[in-house]
Amino acid sequence: MKLFEDKISSAASRVRIALALKGLDVERETIGILGADAINRTPEYLQVNPQGLVPALLTDEGVLLTQSLAIIEYLDERYPEPPLLPGRLEDRAFARAVALAIAADIHPLLPPRVTAHLSAIGVGSADVADWSRHWIRVGLTAVEELLGRRQTGKYSVGDIPTVADICLFPQAVNAERNNLALGQWPRIASVVARLREIPAFIDNGPVPRT
């Protein structure tokens, strides 16, 4: 398998964490997504992912997969141990709901293509930073409430890290980089503190943009 990624990407970080939890080592290719290094819109990379986004995964069978959550579910079905979804049906739905609250409802408001467009239409850099902080704050406040409904174990859903944690961790790292202290969300803060004890998480979070 080969992962197309950029180390700064939180969506790619999700897949890196899933691969590490599964103990899978894959070939990696960096696809720059920022500024002069950006190659994600080149015709070559658009052949890999027509959306021009990372991550993408080339399977051993030569099939190109896109979308981090689809890739994670593929890995989980193909390499079932350890599972990345809880055993109980309702818990699986809940883990997916937390994952989607982040991946579908917070993250799409924040990536470079969004902030670059805000700048291009004349929004100043301080206001762009406020935009990001606003949507992270709104989104994580809702996730904090969601976690309160079912969090009974060490992590977002029970005592094994799931796809919910895989999405939460990079978003939490990103929140801290946007000067949002996790302490304002006590459940998120305690889950993230426990995830920081797991090498698969701390070794594979998004690296800061330079």
Ligand X SMILES: N[C@@H](CCC(=O)N[C@@H](CS)C(=O)NCC(=O)O)C(=O)O
* Binding residues for ligand X (CB under 6 A): 9-11, 33, 40, 53-55, 67-69, 103, 111-113
Using CB atoms, what's the residue nearest to ligand X?
113
- The strand pair at 56-58 and 64-66 is best described as antiparallel
Nearer to ligand X, 40 or 156 (CB): 40
The residue behind tokens 């080339």 is: 58
Q: Are 194 and 6 in contact (CB under 8 A)?
A: no
Concatenated DSSP letters of 103-153 = HTTTGGGSSHHHHHHHHHTT--HHHHHHHHHHHHHHHHHHHHHHHHHH--S
Report, in Å, the least distance between residue 80 CB and ligand X.
Answer: 22
Report, in Å, the least distance between residue 134 CB and ligand X.
Answer: 18
Report, in Å, the least distance between residue 67 CB and ligand X.
Answer: 5
Nearer to ligand X, 9 or 156 (CB): 9
Alpha carbon 72 to its chain centroid, in Å, reads 11
Nearer to ligand X, 14 or 150 (CB): 14
Nearer to ligand X, 68 or 132 (CB): 68
Nearer to ligand X, 95 or 150 (CB): 95
What gap in Å lies between CA 158 and CA 134, rounded to an integer? 29
Report, in Å, the least distance between residue 135 CB and ligand X.
Answer: 14
Report, in Å, the least distance between residue 5 CB and ligand X.
Answer: 9
Nearer to ligand X, 83 or 112 (CB): 112
Report, in Å, the least distance between residue 35 CB and ligand X.
Answer: 11
